[in-house]
Structure 1
Amino acid sequence: MRFVPISAVKEESYLAKTLFDNNDRVLLKKGVKLTNSLINRIKNNGIYSIYINDDYSDNEIEDVIRPELKQKAVSAVRETFINFEKYNDYLNKKFANKAQEKQIIKQRQEYIKSIGDISKSIIDEILQKKDIMINLVDIKSADSYTYQHSVNVAVLSLILGIELQLNKFELYDLCVGAMLHDLGKVLIPEDILNKPGELTDEEFDVVKEHTVKGYEYLKNSLDISASARMIILQHHEKVNQEGYPNHLDGNKINKLAKIVAIADVYDALTSDRPYRKAMSPSEALELIMASGGTHFDYNMVKVFATKIIPYPVGTLVKLSNDAIAVVEKVHPDFPLRPVVKVLTRKDINGNDIYIDLMQDISIVIENVQYEAP
């Protein structure tokens, strides 16, 4: 399978991963042959990139957690965020009585418990697997982006947290805090969050309020730990004191918040947004590595880089010798130097050409190729 922008998808290719609509219902099942009408249906649901199988790639890539568990987590995050919005409406006197407030607070407790239960399931599932590498980027619809992003950040954070040898209690707080890290965004106007152009300084100031608003909502809740609440407040702090909301020095930023900061940016960069197209995993990783020691904790970035596969099996790439190739095998310790099969030429006997970039160091991958040769 390979991940391609919907604009590059051709008829007769096959959908390699099931798609869900904005209400977490199956939109199209894995394996369906794509037609122009189905491609347009995908576009109309605000999905800009998908996984396909075609003549160049029909491999399987295993999900880190089961799709049904991921969808359950997305639904739990959605319900929790909606509950926060209702509570804010009450504070703004859109509801008239105390009974309404009690009901909302009771629901909050139920939703936070649901987040906690799902966090335990996600942790157990990931811990059962050995040496997990991040070789997928998630498919997100425009309308459900925040909820899907929240779950993805939790999974990415856990993979990094396990590699950093956090104990199970820390992993639990990490997962809960990561799933709720963007809670305050429900109070940010959608026209600002989804603005196609660059934000003004005033608009960015509004966006930055989401960390404090989410934290304030949960700061007196006994259902969520202090460490998880710190993730919500501090996931945009930077180790060079240029983050927000409090411009903290790196030594004063919560350890779990530092982990979520890396996962948050990686997932955001590899996601399609109204104001830009998704970066490839390799481009996103390069940006994060370049920010180690300034935006992010340097040692955590080094560990994170060992867990990313920038060019998963099935990726079409352009090589420095101008050849177009498909990644056939990834070396776990050297993911930037995979084995590739050249697609644009054969050897003198008409056989496929395979290049092990670990052996032929004169050739490098220049970029990801989405259009088939």
Structure 2
Amino acid sequence: MRYMPVDFLKETHMLAQPIYDTNFNEQLLATSDLTTSRIKALKRLGYYSVYIRDEKYASDEQSVTTEMLRNLYVEVAHVFTIIKTSSKLISKNKIGLLSIDQAKHLEESFNVLMKIGEEVILYLLKDRSPNIHLFETKSIDLYSIQHAVHTSIYAVKMGLKRNLNMRALKNLFIGAILHDIGYMLIHDFDTTKIGLLNESQKELQSKHAQFTVDILNQCNNITSVTKTICLQHHEKEDGTGYPNRLDSKSINPLTKLLAISITYDALTSDRPFRPAYPIHKAIQIVKNQVGTAYDSLSFELLEEMIVPFPIGTVVKINNELGTITSYETQPKYPVVVMEDGQTVKLTDYRSMSIGLNYRDT
């Protein structure tokens, strides 16, 4: 399996992962051969890059099942829809109260998410791999939903590495899933274009964490810890975050895991204002903010679990192309088969420069 920009696709390629439409129906199946019209459909659906089949290279197993991911996508989409269509939109920084039925519907969806979340936690707990593998093809149009789900999985994986108990993991999971629901209260706010906001939009955007808590306060099945996580997810180590400019000691440790997960997933996602960063560059960007935005422990946990160059990735070494085929000991130093057939073990050449062949920006 290989990850490839849509612009590089050919009709000889076959998808390795299903492609979803905005209702999370499988629009293009993984068993389908690509055609010119299907490649155009990928672009129309907001996909910039996809996973394609390549039998030459075995792939790492996905850390959670495709069924779990889709179930989460569908339920998060349901939560977003309930809030968008049934709650009163904000008016001068305040939101209207939900009706009893509206709050009940949200609580029911939250219960479904908690149940799936427990399945995800137990599944990750059984996974002995120190790394996280999410081979989901991301769509710009589905960004908010996929971002919530992927962020929750990254955060829980780090929580497991910290040996958190089940209660803490559940709070972390549901906090990660729901951290951005406050955006749904902002009329006509487009979360896919956050990098292109004007000053008034930025001011409104900075209030979404409080709006999230305002929603959660009207439901009876969300813990105070989860609400704290949601409220604090944009606070920073140096006290320059929002909404309350908390210092490091005042930020919940679970929030710190969520915050770094949010940034990593955002960086590795295609956005209308920029393409996704390659994994190794996203890690470097996060690393550069340790001590200001993020704490060192959370970064160490993130770095330990992320594979910077997944198996099947086409890379460039000393201006020559090769493909990642396996790892010996550390994902940072993979085994690369060059175009001329030479095998290069980067454990023997740790100072050697390695970069992506596609969109190494």
TM-score range with shorter-chain normalisation? over 0.9
Q: Which residue of 1 aligns with 2:94?
A: none
Q: Which residue of 1 aligns with 2:49?
A: 49
2:312 aligned residue (291, 307, 314): 314
Q: Which residue of 2 aligns with 1:39?
A: 39
Cα pair distance change 1:329/1:58, threshold 3 Å: closer
Equivalences, count: 354
Residue aligned with 2:10, SS: coil
Deviation at 1:17, TM superposition (A): 1.1
Instruction: Tell which deviates more after alignment, 15-24 or 183-192.
Output: 183-192
Cα pair distance change 1:294/1:354, threshold 3 Å: same
Cα pair distance change 1:195/1:131, threshold 3 Å: closer
Q: Which residue of 1 aligns with 2:29?
A: 29
Q: What CA deviation, in whole Å up to 9, does each residue of 1:131-181 have, x standing for no partner?
A: 241243532223321111111111111111100111111001111111101
Q: Which residue of 2 aligns with 1:269?
A: 267
Matched-pair identity in %: 31
Cα pair distance change 1:188/1:91, threshold 3 Å: closer
Q: Which residue of 1 aligns with 2:357?
A: 369
Q: Which residue of 2 aligns with 1:349?
A: none
Letter in 1 for 2:293: H
Q: Distance in 2 between matches of 1:214 and 1:302?
A: 29
RMSD across aligned positions (CA): 2.1
Q: Specify every segment of 5 or more residues in structure 1 that has no aligned partner in the other structure, as ranges.
A: 93-97, 347-351
1:340 aligned residue (336, 340, 352): 336
Q: Which residue of 2 aligns with 1:358?
A: 347
Q: Which residue of 2 aligns with 1:71?
A: 70
Greater C-alpha radius of gyration: 1
Residue aligned with 2:79, SS: helix
Residue aligned with 1:328, SS: strand
Cα pair distance change 1:196/1:124, threshold 3 Å: closer
Cα pair distance change 1:116/1:207, threshold 3 Å: same
Give the TM-score, by structure 2 length.
Answer: 0.92
Q: What CA deviation, in whole Å up to 9, does each residue of 1:184-205 have, x standing for no partner?
A: 1112344553338632222211
Q: Distance in 2 between matches of 1:361 and 1:304?
A: 21
Q: Which runs of 4+ in 1 moved over 6 A?
A: none
Deviation at 1:122, TM superposition (A): 1.1
Q: Which residue of 1 aligns with 2:83?
A: 84
Q: Distance in 2 between matches of 1:68 and 1:129?
A: 17
Deviation at 1:315, TM superposition (A): 0.5
Q: Distance in 1 between matches of 2:5 and 2:185?
A: 30
Instruction: Tell which deviates more after alignment, 79-88 or 12-21.
Output: 79-88
Q: Which residue of 2 aligns with 1:18?
A: 18
Deviation at 1:58, TM superposition (A): 4.2
Is 2:92 the partner of 1:103? no
Letter in 2 for 1:304: L
**Contact 1:19–1:26 under 8 Å retained in 2:** yes
Deviation at 1:87, TM superposition (A): 4.0
Cα pair distance change 1:270/1:90, threshold 3 Å: closer
**Contact 1:177–1:228 under 8 Å retained in 2:** yes
Give the TM-score, by structure 1 length.
Answer: 0.89
Letter in 2 for 1:328: T
Letter in 2 for 1:359: D
Deviation at 1:360, TM superposition (A): 2.6
Deviation at 1:302, TM superposition (A): 1.1
**Contact 1:314–1:328 under 8 Å retained in 2:** yes
1:281 aligned residue (271, 274, 279): 279
Alignment of 1:1-373 (within 5 A): 1-54=1-54, 58-89=57-88, 101-136=99-134, 138-190=136-188, 192-195=190-193, 198-319=196-317, 321-332=318-329, 334-343=330-339, 346=340, 352-365=341-354, 367-370=355-358
**Contact 1:64–1:132 under 8 Å retained in 2:** no
Q: Distance in 1 between matches of 2:299 and 2:140?
A: 28
